[in-house]
Amino acid sequence: MKFTTLSLRTSPGRRDELIAFYRSADVLAVSGALAAQILVPPDEPDTIVVTALWADAAACAAWQNSPLRRELAQGMAPFFDSADAVSTREFHVARHHAAG
């Protein structure tokens, strides 16, 4: 499995609009991730962190290279005022536990 984080720092005051965009476009569901969530850091009012758990590297790569993802990224562009507003990290999942 693979786990990714995407940190997005919006233009001042636009965080809630970006979250609404994610909801209206159903970005988390259409990504194909096994699980995904949007986190809101309490001490960073213009930042969200999107996490995703992928079945494998191929599933993550399929989303990264998806034309739909590129289209959604274009739709999100107005929420940012800096090229360094987006950062991604990828992790290999060494162990996973799901409550059940």
pLDDT (tens digit, 9 = 90+) per residue, 15-57?
999 999 999 999 999 999 999 999 999 999 999 999 999 999 9
In 1-100, at which residue ranges do the beta strands (DSSP E only) sit? 2-9, 35-39, 47-54, 86-92
Residue 83 has pLDDT above 90, yes or no: no
Task: Look at residue 70 in the predicted model and tell me its pLDDT.
Answer: 96
Mean pLDDT of 55-61: 96
Residue 100 has pLDDT above 90, yes or no: no
Considering only residues 76 and 96, tell me which one the structure prediction assigns the higher pLDDT.
76
Global model pTM greater than 0.75: yes
Determine the Cα–Cα distance for residues 36 and 50; give it in Å rounded to an integer.
7
**2-92: which CATH topology?**
Alpha-Beta Plaits (3.30.70)
Q: With contact defined as beta carbons under 8 Å apart, do 37 and 55 qualify?
A: no
CA distances to 1, 13, 23, 31, 77 from 70, rounded to whole Å, are 23, 24, 17, 12, 11
Residue 90 has pLDDT above 80, yes or no: yes
The share of the chain scoring above pLDDT 90, in percent, equals: 92
Helix and strand numbers, DSSP H then E, in the chain:
4, 4
